[in-house]
Chains A and B, each alone.
Chain A
């Protein structure tokens, strides 16, 4: 899904944070995470679905999320579900504070406060 004029490409490195944040609300499978990000950003952020999976595996390998094959309610076939680990929670907090700092800093550059 190439981004249209009103859509934005994801900033480098922010995908991990979005995934961790999504999983804060409970376990989810890859497709569910993609849909969640798409919906909550009102389709502004485009995640190429394919890029989500390497990110998930990288997070799992780092120990920030864990995975389990299980059948969701109403389905017979098992899907791969991911959940946040304690280390993932800590990682999310670190990333959030870094993100806030970044946004604040960029904001101050773009819209400098009028001098007192």
Chain B
């Protein structure tokens, strides 16, 4: 190694020190000179003359200590800021345009990042897996796993350090003496689930290891949200006893704020798996989660799980053959629903960003065209091309940095205002939504975006400006009479792309809005006005006969309640997003070729359900009070029209039988179709049976009221409490509220895409205006010549406006192709409007062409006022 002396690096002299050293020199030199008899002023002047340019020398001395690129960068930045200050209109427009594009992208990035990538930020997400059990043949999209497979994974998997499970359940909770019961949703979880997922607690702890054994399971955990809502966040709730489904349970913990694992529910209790359960291979009802062992990847776990599946299939081929356990990253648990939505937003935001970049490039091109003389001169005077390019890039970087800063603000504001309108039904299934914010990752994304944007929008101007031959510009004379023909063509091309991007986003927005409106106006097949709906649940262990008694007494009670026109129970309410699936078969008919059984939505109702919900009976009869449980009474069913026409196409199903759980049910009626899952979902088979003949402890109550259904909340609650005070009531709402809850996500999508569309259209129209106006300004001489040669104002206006319409038409034509492509992505969320709806596309095109004519009006007016004499003498 080469030794250096002194060891200590020399200290970098400051500006003061450099100035002082030079001043000292000048003083000493002046002293010297004055010794030969010169006057003081003369001596100082001579000293300066001998020295040369002091400022330049000082600059050079500084440059020795600072690497030159920093100096040059600083210089570029200084020049950039100065240049931008000289054209505030350009700077402001370009900054705002870019801010809109960057803001939209940053907001959508934050959304996607939190909702899809990191839905559980408080958990070690990347070490957790969700294990689904599927059969490519029987159920390729199934998610739930059997208890036997849970045990198998726990015992055999080495790539998983722990495996646990959860099962969604609905219960009544009574925490305060004789208060009416709350109907709550909860999860039964294996005692190890919270510890394997490292779930933090606000109060207390998770379940003890033995909480899953019968007798030790009288414990419960509350979610933070429910604890705040129901127990006012009181610490005293810990170790207190609550009544869950009529059984006392000790509260051992409250989850930390924000934990919605596996999804947002109210309470948790231990999942008890007996030895018999552990041998259950056939019923798949568990959400299984595992933690990866140290060093194991998801792929490792998938390989091992596949091996274990093979072992299970050979051990119990009857139940497990063909079924495969598949560990997936934890974020897959919710993603399937929200991914489409985020993808739609992402495409729209990316298009906004593209339009913004093109528009900024266009503005920048206009500006560099105006500065062509400056650039050409600088190049001629020895300014190196690289340096000129760097100068333009620095300016672009400054603009996009400003745009990014503003865009981050816009994104934060947008997320803040959007989080207020996120429907609870969405929030429940997307735990990440609660955490969406512009954080460090989003900032890194924005920074990367900013650099990409700079390159994208500075590229064209840089290439153009640095290739200008001096002669061409200087020969062009004062106000470029012919103009920068190539530059104008490039700018026109950019505007065409802007217009086509605008068409794409605008048509998506129009389709989504029409779809949402169709859903509001559409008829789901049930009465929406004057209907109150609620969930009812009887205590665990209620016998079938007790459930029957409850339903018939409730029916009788409500018939005599003033203000009630009709009331009936059903298993699940249309539009509630709840289903009860059942498997049925048709006697004498072979199972379907692919082996999958026939399924239907199982509705167990009382006679007045059809009347309360306004569902017509198309043929046969309804369920009535005579359809009793007595063995003498025939087991009957009413089916929906869809099922009638699909299971018995072309023949009358009345009098035929279906078999459910080995019991034959005779079809006595066909009811009109109900869009149970909402208008956006297709119809399914539905089977209505008498609640007396197929009793259940959980049901929904629908009440058709004479007046405002909300006013009937308390009377109905009281009626329920009078019939059985232990019956829990939950989710009390009107059918209109239920409908709004179902539709609101679609409005949200439409609103967001509409916002993006407005931005993009504005950008395109402003861009078009800019090109037309610039063209008119550049061609004043040409227009003046035309007028001097006899062109009328009308000719001039139609000439200019024609240019605008031509550009827009090309853009529209290109954009419509893109719009059709984007619409395919929208198909999943569209209702009642085909993705390539010609009416929508045509009106969007018409709207944009109209807007472009409006944008061309002012330049047209200017063009018409061109005065031949004035313009030619300029």
Q: Hey, which bits of chain A sit against chain B, CB under 8 A?
A: 1, 29-31, 34-35, 48-51, 53-54, 57-58, 60-61, 63, 66-67, 77, 79-80, 85-87
Q: Given the complex, which residues of A lie within 8 Å of B51, measured CB to CB?
A: 48-50
Are A87 and B24 also in contact (CB < 8 A) when A1-B49, A31-B29, A49-B29 are?
no
- Nearest Cβ in chain B — how far from A75, in angstroms? 10
Task: List, in ascending order, chain A residues with CB within 8 A of B4's CB.
Answer: 63, 87
- With contacts A53-B57, A54-B60 taken as known, whether A1 is within 8 angstroms of B50 at the C-beta atoms is yes
Say yes or no: A50 contacts B53, CB within 8 Å: yes
Additional A-B contacts beyond A50-B51, A63-B9 (11; CB < 8 A): A1-B49, A1-B50, A29-B28, A35-B32, A50-B56, A58-B64, A61-B10, A63-B5, A67-B10, A79-B28, A86-B5
B647 interface residue, CB < 8 Å from A? no
Number of B residues contacting the other chain (C-beta, 8 Å)?
28
Other-chain residue from B6, B25, B65 in contact with A53 (beta carbon distance below 8 A) = B25
Say which residue of A34, A53, A63, A80 sits within 8 Å of B10 (CB atoms): A63
Given A63-B10, A66-B10, check contact A53 B50 (CB 8 Å): no
Within 8 A of A (CB), among B80-116: none
- Tell me if B24 and A50 are in contact (CB < 8 A): no
Q: Shortest Cβ distance from A90 into chain B, in angstroms?
A: 9
Residues of B within 8 A of A61 (CB): 10, 64-65
Whether the Cβ atoms of B5 and A87 lie closer than 8 Å is yes
Partner of B13, one of A30, A57, A85, A86: A57
A60 and B5 in contact (CB under 8 A), knowing A48-B50, A50-B53, A80-B24? Answer: no
Contact flags B36-55 to A (C-beta < 8 A → 1, else 0): 00000000000001111110
A51 CA / B57 CA spacing, docked (Å): 7
Nearest CB in chain A to that of B13: its residue: A57
Residues in chain A near residue B54, CB distance under 8 A: 50
Name the distance in Å between A94's Cβ and chain B's nearest Cβ. 13
Q: Does B22 contact A (CB under 8 A)?
A: yes
- The interface residues of chain B lying within 8 Å CB-to-CB of A35 are 32
Given the complex of chains A and B, what is the CA–CA distance between A66 and B9 in angstroms? 10
Task: Collect the chain B residues with CB atoms within 8 Å of residue A34's CB.
Answer: 25
The 29 sampled A-B contact pairs (Cβ below 8 Å) are A29-B28, A30-B21, A30-B24, A30-B25, A48-B50, A49-B29, A49-B50, A49-B52, A50-B51, A50-B52, A50-B54, A50-B56, A50-B57, A51-B57, A53-B22, A53-B25, A53-B61, A54-B61, A57-B61, A58-B64, A61-B10, A61-B64, A63-B5, A66-B10, A67-B10, A79-B24, A80-B20, A80-B21, A86-B5
Complex: A86 Cα to B17 Cα, angstroms: 25
List, in ascending order, chain B residues with CB within 8 A of A53's CB.
21-22, 25, 57, 61
Contacting residue for A29 out of B9, B24, B60, CB 8 A:
B24
Contacts of A79 in B (CB 8 A): 24, 28
Q: How far is the CA of A39 from the CA of B37 in the complex (A)?
A: 20
Q: Chain B residues with Cβ under 8 A from A77's Cβ?
A: 24
Instruction: Name B6's contact: one of A49, A51, A57, A63 (CB within 8 Å).
Output: A63
Taking CB atoms, residues of chain A closer than 8 Å to B53 are: 50
User: For the complex, what is the distance from the CA of A1 to the CA of B32, rounded to whole Å?
Assistant: 15
Give bound CA distance, A79 to B23, whole Å: 10
Alpha-carbon distance between A35 and B35 when the two chains are bound, in angstroms: 14
Which of B5, B9, B22, B49 touches A85 (beta carbons < 8 Å)? B5
Residues on the B chain within 8 Å of A30, using CB: 21, 24-25
Residues from chain B with Cβ under 8 Å of A60 in the complex: 10
Query: CB-CB < 8 A to B60: which residues of A?
Result: 54
A61→B67 CA distance, assembly (Å): 12
User: 5 closest A-B pairs (Cβ-Cβ)?
Assistant: A50-B52, A31-B28, A50-B57, A54-B60, A86-B5
Name B57's contact: one of A54, A66, A80 (CB within 8 Å).
A54
CA distance A60 to B13 in the complex (A): 11
Set of chain B residues within 8 Å of A48, measured between Cβ atoms = 50-52
Residue of A nearest to B64 (CB): A57
Q: Smallest distance from the beta carbon of B23 to chain A beta carbons, Å? A: 11
Least CB distance from B30 to A in Å reads 10
Neighbouring A residues of B49 by C-beta, 8 Å: 1
Question: In the assembled complex, how far is the CB of residue A73 from the closest CB belonging to chain B, in whole angstroms?
Answer: 15
Instruction: Give the Cβ gap from A27 to chain B, nearest Cβ, in Å.
Output: 14
What residue in chain A is nearest B47 (Cβ atoms)?
A49
CB under 8 Å from chain A, chain B span 774-813: none
CB contacts (< 8 Å) of B29 on chain A: these are 31, 49
Contacts of A63 in B (CB 8 A): 4-6, 9-10
How near does chain B come to A38, taking the closest CB pair, in angstroms? Answer: 10
A51 touches B52 (CB 8 A): yes
A58: shortest Cβ distance to chain B, in Å? 5
Smallest beta-carbon distance B22→chain A, Å: 7
Closest chain B residue to A31, Cβ basis: B28
Q: Which residues on A sit within 8 Å (CB–CB) of B6? A: 63, 66, 85
* CA distance in complex: A67, B52 (Å): 23
A53 to B57, CA, bound (A): 8
- Chain B's closest residue to A69 (CB) is B17
Contact partners of B61 in chain A: CB under 8 A? 53-54, 57
Q: Which A residue sits closest to B52, measured CB to CB?
A: A50
Closest CB in chain A relative to B465 CB, distance in Å: 33
Q: Are A31 and B24 in contact (CB under 8 A)?
A: yes
Q: Which B residues from 312 to 353 make CB contacts under 8 A with A?
A: none
Residues of A within 8 A of B10 (CB): 60-61, 63, 66-67
Give A9 Cβ to nearest chain B Cβ, in Å: 13
Give Cα A30 to B60, complex, Å: 16
Interchain nearest-CB distance for B693 vs A (Å): 98
Question: Chain A residue with minimal CB distance to B49?
Answer: A1
A67 CA to B64 CA in the complex, in Å? Answer: 15
Q: How far is the CA of A34 from the CA of B4 in the complex (A)?
A: 27
B31 CB to nearest A CB, Å: 9
Q: Which residues of B contact A31 (CB under 8 A)?
A: 24-25, 28-29
A49 to B17, CA, bound (A): 17
Assembled-state Cα–Cα distance A30/B54 (Å): 14
A-side contacts of B65, CB under 8 Å: 57, 61
How far, in angstroms, from A27 to B431 measured CA to CA in the complex? 74
Which residues from chain B contact A57 at a C-beta distance below 8 Å? Answer: 13, 61, 64-65
Query: What is the bound-complex CA distance between A77 and B22, given in angstroms?
Result: 14
The docked-state distance in angstroms from the alpha carbon of A66 to that of B13 is: 12
Contact bitstring B50-81, A, C-beta under 8 A = 1, else 0: 11111011001100110000000000000000
Please give, as numbers and ranges, the residues of chain A lying within 8 Å of B22 by CB-CB distance.
53
Chain B residue nearest in CB terms to A47: B50
Cα(A48)–Cα(B50), bound, Å: 6
Name the residue among B3, B13, B17, B21 with the largest chain A CB count within 10 angstroms: B21
Asked if residues B25 and A49 are in contact (CB atoms below 8 Å), the reply is yes
Task: Collect the chain B residues with CB atoms within 8 Å of residue A67's CB.
Answer: 10
Q: For the complex, give the distance between the alpha carbons of A35 and B47 in Å.
A: 13
In whole angstroms, what is the CA distance A77 to B23 when docked? 12
A55 to B516, CA, bound (A): 76
Assembled-state Cα–Cα distance A85/B57 (Å): 25
Q: How far is the CB of B805 from chain A (nearest CB, A)?
A: 63
From residue B331, how far is it (CB to closest CB) to chain A in Å? 54
A49→B24 CA distance, assembly (Å): 12
Closest A residue by C-beta to B21 = A80
Least Cβ–Cβ distance between A81 and chain B, in angstroms:
11
Which residues B799-838 have CB closer than 8 A to chain A?
none
- In the assembled complex, how far is the CB of residue A35 from the closest CB belonging to chain B, in whole angstroms? 7
Instruction: For the complex, give the distance between the alpha carbons of A67 and B28 in Å.
Output: 18
- Complex CA–CA separation, A58 to B66 (angstroms): 11
Inter-chain CA distance A70–B696, complex, in Å, is 101
Q: How far is the CB of B517 from chain A (nearest CB, A)?
A: 73
